[in-house]
Amino acid sequence: MAFWDYANPTRFLKLVQVLLPWLVGLCVIFFAAGLYMSFFMAPEDYQQGNTVRIMYIHVPAAWLSMMCYSVMALSSIGTLVWKHPLADVSAKSAAPIGAAFTFMALVTGSLWGKPMWGTYWVWDARLTSVLVLLIMYLGLMTLWRTMEDPIKAGKAAAVLTLVGALNLPVIKFSVDWWNTLHQPASVVRMDGPTIHPDILWPLMVMATAFTLFFFVIHLMAMRNEIMRRRVRALRLRAAASSHPGTAAATAQPAE
């Protein structure tokens, strides 16, 4: 069976049913290992002290906030170019998860900033561009809720998502392009990570746990969205058959 065959929502739901227990199991294992490594194995940083432990959740949350938007941008291309039946289901389902990760990154960053920088917030390029990302997520979620027809809403949201994707390189390179209080990249660099392996390994395990968690919640949210569209299609069909004079309801591709 080709990957493209999973464009069929029914086949996709069957795949989710098979994948979810494995992903949940792996996610729990990685979270348990990551938390143990973060609290009991990782040493204090010579400058940050114990506050380095905040980095084990702040950095993965920040990465996931951007990865989630990248998933939405790719899904939006799928909506606009190929009209893939699951593309806007994927984009819509990812938005609240991305908003949650962005919120997590901003708040944990603030809680790290107070003891390290002496302030919870500064309007530097990195922090401000991540705040813009959170506003983009909230705006997209609002847009989906304001339009009754999911296909029309999906197209409008796809255009807005792709415009908002311009913010991703701004977030990534803001620390290089401008003089920011936020430190430059220390893991994803051309010359390799500059972090000691004792701190890098717990970070990578926690990042894997966060990524698995994203896929678990995203698949579950996509399943819910497919069901929501089925409920909508059934209600429209029932309304059309009880009032034959009115316009017939049209089923959407992901229903």
Q: Would you tell me which residues interact with other proteins (CB under 8 A)?
A: 39-40, 49-51, 53-54, 57-58, 61, 96-97, 100, 103-104, 107-108, 111-112, 114-115, 213, 217, 220-221, 223-224, 227-228, 230-231, 234-235, 237-238
Residue 15 Cβ vs other proteins, minimum distance, rounded to whole Å: 17
Quick one: 80 or 111, whose CB is closer to other proteins? 111
Beta carbon of residue 142, minimum distance to other proteins (angstroms, whole number)? 16
Q: Measure the CA dihedral 229/218/101/142, to 10°.
A: -10
Q: In the bound complex, what is the minimum distance in angstroms from residue 139's beta carbon to other proteins?
A: 19
Q: Which CB, 121 or 173, lies closer to other proteins?
A: 121
Measured CA distances, 51 to 43, 56, 141, 247 (Å): 11, 10, 33, 61
Which residue is listed with tokens 């909506």?
A: 79
Would you say 108 or 174 has its CB closer to other proteins?
A: 108
Least Å distance, CB 18 to other proteins, is 17
Closer CB to other proteins, 64 or 125, in the complex: 64
Considering beta carbons, is residue 163 or 238 the nearer one to other proteins? 238
> How many alpha carbons lie under 13 Å from residue 179 in its C-beta half-sphere?
0
For residue 7, what are its two tokens? 């464009």
Residue recorded with tokens 């170019």: 81
Burial class (CB in 10 A: 0-12, 13-18, 19+), 173: middle
Q: What is the CA radius of gyration of the chain?
A: 21
As measured in angstroms, the least distance from the Cβ of 45 to other proteins is: 11
